[in-house]
Amino acid sequence: MSATIIDGKAFAETVRAQVADHVARLKAGHGVTPGLAVVLVGEDPASQVYVRSKGKQTLEAGMASFEHKLPAETSEADLVALVKQLNADPKVHGILVQLPLPPHLDSDLVINTIDPAKDVDGFHISNVGLLGTGQKAMVPCTPLGCLMLLRDHLGSLSGKTAVVVGRSNIVGKPMAQLLLGDSCTVTIAHSRTQDLPAVCRTADILVAAVGRPEMVKGDWVKPGATVIDVGINRIERDGKTKLVGDVDFVSAAAVAGAITPVPGGVGPMTIACLLANTLTACCRANGLPEPEGLTA
Ligand code: GUN
């Protein structure tokens, strides 16, 4: 193995420490405490784990955490009413509705009810449009985390060839916009891309966000490339449950210049960026300077 391992866990800790430091100064200097409201509908076990972790890390950063757990059979009208109540609450600077929602609820309608200034997920259509036109937006947390790791490792991304594998609204599309914003030459590849390995081999920066365990092999990677693995897949191997990414780590690490591991790469950056976005939203709401290095 020759690649440098990009330690997302350690980097996320420094981001969280920066956020906590800024929060302490906001409280002391302005009497303002950033607040994050998380809404969970139903009992999806993975979502429950995420929401618990978000609440814990929000409190550790010195912020206020408001958790709203609603039964799976909650009506759309009741959920929309809660979102509107949170929009109007001055103690709440960030609102996150955990996805996926139960199938009888229209996610787009619910997300687009969130005040765009409090949309710390960056999923509201206004924020999508702002990001796409290079204006100041709330940026989705996972792609923002990937961008921070890339800037930290490579410095300037300008002129580099980037390939994003995956075209989801949560990761692939906003990731491509962010890389374009940093002057990369960007390709979005997906399951229908012809000769996907050859397209991937053009990349100085390769971001894998497809949700297929270990799909990207070492011979898809340009020697020396920086590989960002967004995948978190649970697989059974040798009778044990194991977490793996969308990249075949062993073969890719033999070719890449740098690579994020799974676990301990992109994953921890997502909640760190959620905290950063909540702090940013709070600063904007109060007309205060935004934290440096924590936004796109
Ligand atoms: N479910 C899985 N990832 C996410 C995320 O980033 N935000 C929300 N709201 N739900 C999710």
Q: With respect to residue 112, please indicate whether it lies within any of the assigned structural domains.
A: yes
The answer to the question of residue 187 being in a domain is yes
Catalytic residue, from 18, 57, 115, 121: name it. 121
153 and 249 belong to one structural domain: yes
| Residue 259 counted as domain residue | yes
Q: What is the pLDDT along the chain (296 residues), one digit of tens a residue?
A: 689 999 999 999 999 999 999 999 999 999 999 999 999 999 999 999 999 999 999 999 999 999 999 999 999 999 999 999 999 999 999 999 999 999 999 999 999 999 999 999 999 999 999 999 999 999 999 999 999 999 999 999 999 999 999 999 999 999 999 999 999 999 999 999 999 999 999 999 999 999 999 999 999 999 999 999 999 999 999 999 999 999 999 999 999 999 999 999 999 999 999 999 999 999 999 999 999 999 99
Residues 125 and 289: their CA atoms lie apart, in Å, by 25
Ligand 1 centre to CA of 111 (Å) is: 11
* Co-location of 70 and 110 in the same domain: yes
CA of 59 to the centre of ligand 1 (A): 19
Count of other CB atoms within 10 angstroms of residue 57: 21
With H, G, I as helix, E, B as strand and everything else as coil, classify residue 172.
helix
Could you tell me the distance, in angstroms and rounded to a whole number, from the CA of residue 210 to the centre of ligand 1?
Answer: 15
In one-letter notation, the amino acid at residue 226 is T
CATH of residue 86: 3.40.50.10860
Work out the angle at residue 269's Cα, subtended by the Cα atoms of residues 4 and 10, and round it to the nearest 5 degrees. Answer: 50
Contact at 8 Å (CB) between 197 and 203? no
Angle at 247 between CA 3 and CA 240, to 5 degrees: 110
CATH number of the domain enclosing 186: 3.40.50.720
Query: What is the whole-number distance in angstroms between the Cα of residue 149 and the centre of ligand 1?
Result: 20
Number of domains in the chain: 2
Is the CB of 121 inside a 6 Å radius of any atom of ligand 1?
Answer: yes
Distance CA 215, CA 226 (A): 17
Is the same domain home to 178 and 104?
no
- Tokens 């702002």 sit at which residue? 130
For helices 267-285 and 45-60, the axis angle rounded to 10 degrees is: 50
Q: Which atom of ligand 1 is nearest to the CA of 140?
A: 6
Same domain, 146 and 264: yes
Helix (H) or strand (E) segment spanning residue 97: strand 94-97
Q: Is residue 244, in this structure, part of any structural domain at all?
A: yes
The confidence score (pLDDT) of residue 1 equals 64
Residue 98 designated active-site? yes
Any bridge partners for residue 193, and if so which? none
Give pLDDT, residue 35: 98
261 with 165, same domain: the answer is yes
Residue 277 near ligand 1, beta carbon < 6 Å: no
**184 and 89 fall within a common domain:** no
Q: Compute the distance from residue 25 Cα to the ligand 1 centre, in Å.
A: 29
Q: Which residue has the tokens 């607040």?
A: 35
Tell me, yes or no, whether 99 and 212 share the same domain. Answer: no
Contact 128, 162 (CB under 8 A): no
Ligand 1 mutation pick, 48, 99, 269, 278, max ligand atoms within 8 A of CB = 99
Q: Does residue 82 lie in a domain region?
A: yes
Determine the residue of 121, 144, 271 to mutate for testing ligand 1's pocket, defined as the one with the most ligand atoms within 8 A of the Cβ atom. 121
Query: What are the structure tokens assigned to 93, written together?
Result: 């600077």
Show the tokens assigned to 198.
Answer: 């050859």
Q: Is the CB of 119 under 6 A from ligand 1?
A: no
Annotated catalytic residue within 18, 98, 173, 204: 98
Same domain, 93 and 175: no
Domain boundaries, position 170 = 141-268
Q: Is 24 domain-assigned?
A: no
| Cβ of residue 248 lying under 6 Å from some atom of ligand 1 | no
Cβ–ligand 1 contact at 110 (below 6 Å): no
Q: How many CB atoms lie within 10 A of CB 25?
A: 12
Assess whether 189 and 257 both reside in one domain.
yes
The upper half-sphere exposure of residue 9, i.e. CA atoms within 13 Å in the direction of its Cβ, equals 5
| Nearest alpha carbon, ligand 1 atom 1 | 99
106 is catalytic: no
Residue 287: inside a domain, yes or no?
Answer: no
Q: For residue 19, what pLDDT is reported?
A: 98
The SS3 call for residue 221 is coil
pTM above 0.85, yes or no: yes
Of the residues 126, 160, 178, which one is the last residue of a structural domain?
126
